[in-house]
Amino acid sequence: MKIPITLIVVCLWLCQQPILATPNWDTQDTLKQVYKGKIDLKYSITVELCILEEQCWGRFYYDKYIKDIEFVGDYKDQVLTLHEINAKTGAKSKGAFIGNLSDDLLQIKGHWQNTDAGKSMPFELNALSVTIPTNTHLNYDKVKDFQSLLNYFDLQPKLPLKIDAGLNYMDWHWTDWQEEHKKDFKHFIPYAMANQYIMNQVNFGTEGSLNYFDIAEKNYKEYKMGYRSIGYLSKNYKFVSLLFHFDADTGWDDYEVFFVLNFDYEGRLLGGFKAFTHIVLERTGQFISEQTHATFLQESTIDLSSERITIEYGTNHKTGEEYYNEKNSKTSSRYTLQEDGSFAEKQLK
């Protein structure tokens, strides 16, 4: 019996195809949304969900590992059934999400289950809000890239919190402290991340000769100068508020600065301010010392007090007399967090 050559070619082609693959049905009618949430209140995940009529597909990753897992499924009577896909075989795996999608597409609640292991755990997902009005949803790939930075910020300090000179930061009190989070405290942030999310976006202005928002990669060294993670002050489904630390000793000047920076989940800077500075600048004939202290009363209200001392000294070239002049200025201000992630500043008397 001879088998037609066409049938052989078709069979060979089918053998090379995955058993199941994520559809590529993107049209203008496809509904898309990006979510964050947790499985069993412990395992943080980020999900991109696509829906076209009764078909749905997408991908998700565990925030800790940032590795995509694809899924396909169906959507009937507001119930989602999403089957994970085995990356090696292209077939359905035993993991699945089954949950109810709210009418506004902003929340999914249900259970994740693994039939082989006999596991079933609750999950809840909430849609991430856009910060650009013309966009309908966030870009999943940008959210995933930004997750690499967020993973340095597992710690949350308890409020009220005061940042001032001489404070031993490890004596701070932390919310939901876990021993594994200790490694993220003052963790050195790689240059590429610092350049993309901080130096390319922040324009606060700096003191002295060092512009710490414009550092060449060759000078960005762990034991010389750079940015470190401290923790996050707050998170919601629109933006996250992060606390950074920068220090440097140039040989002449000393810099230590804390920043509060608010980002949306694509890594776009929404607002921020310097929460603490301890700057000592010395040049021939001039010495400048500046200290700013912050008191975080609550997530939305921060009081700052700043003191700047300027000393000028030397010898008058005309009279030959030595001189020493000292100026001291103090200011106080309050920063209030706005709904869009920016801060409103008010000078206090």
Which tens digits make up the pLDDT trace of 287-315? Answer: 777 788 888 888 788 888 888 788 888 88
Structural domain ending residue among the three candidates 92, 127, 162:
127
Residues 222 and 75 occupy one common structural domain? no
Residues 114 and 166 occupy one common structural domain? no
Burial (CB < 10 A; 0-12, 13-18, 19+), residue 209, is exposed
According to the model, what pLDDT value does residue 81 have? 95
Place of tokens 């700047």: 308
Residues 104 and 156 occupy one common structural domain? no
Query: What average pLDDT does the segment 227-235 reach?
Result: 91
Residues 211 and 101 occupy one common structural domain? no
Residue 161 domain flag = yes
What is the amino acid identity at position 38?
K
Residue 259 domain flag = yes
Residues 216 and 344 occupy one common structural domain? yes
Q: Domain of 66: which CATH number? A: 2.40.128.120
According to the model, what pLDDT value does residue 16 have? 45
Residues 271 and 177 occupy one common structural domain? yes
Structural domain ending residue among the three candidates 93, 127, 161:
127
Q: Which residues contact 236 (CB under 8 A, 6 or more apart)?
A: none
What is the amino acid identity at position 4?
P
Q: Which residues contact 174 (CB under 8 A, 6 or more apart)?
A: 155, 156, 157, 158, 181, 231
Query: What average pLDDT does the segment 93-100 reach?
Result: 92
Residue 139 domain flag = no
According to the model, what pLDDT value does residue 12 have? 45
Residue 203 domain flag = yes
Residues 151 and 123 occupy one common structural domain? no
Residues 182 and 109 occupy one common structural domain? no
Residues 166 and 273 occupy one common structural domain? yes
Residues 116 and 200 occupy one common structural domain? no
- For the chain, what percentages of helix, strand and coil (3-state, to nearest 5) are there? 10, 50, 40
Residues 207 and 97 occupy one common structural domain? no
Q: For residue 156, what are the domain limits? A: 147-348
Instruction: Quote the tokens at residue 141.
Output: 């790939």
According to the model, what pLDDT value does residue 18 have? 45
Residue 11 domain flag = no
Query: What average pLDDT does the segment 138-145 reach?
Result: 96
pLDDT at residue 5 greater than cutoff 80: no
pLDDT at residue 89 greater than cutoff 80: yes
As a dihedral over the C-alpha atoms of residue 146, residue 147, residue 149, residue 154, rounded to 10 degrees, the angle is 150
Residues 292 and 341 occupy one common structural domain? yes
Number of domain units in the chain:
2
Q: How confident is the model at residue 9 (pLDDT cuts 50, 70, 90)?
A: very low
Listed residue (94, 92, 97, 96) closest to 18, CA to CA:
92
- Please provide residue 275's backbone torsions phi and psi, each rounded to the nearest 5 degrees: -90, -20
Residue 134 domain flag = no
Structural domain ending residue among the three candidates 68, 93, 127:
127
The rounded distance, in Å, linking the Cα atoms of 86 and 74 is 18
Beta strands in 77-170 (DSSP E): 79-85, 92-101, 107-114, 119-127, 156-157, 161-163
Residue 215 domain flag = yes
Residue 16 domain flag = no
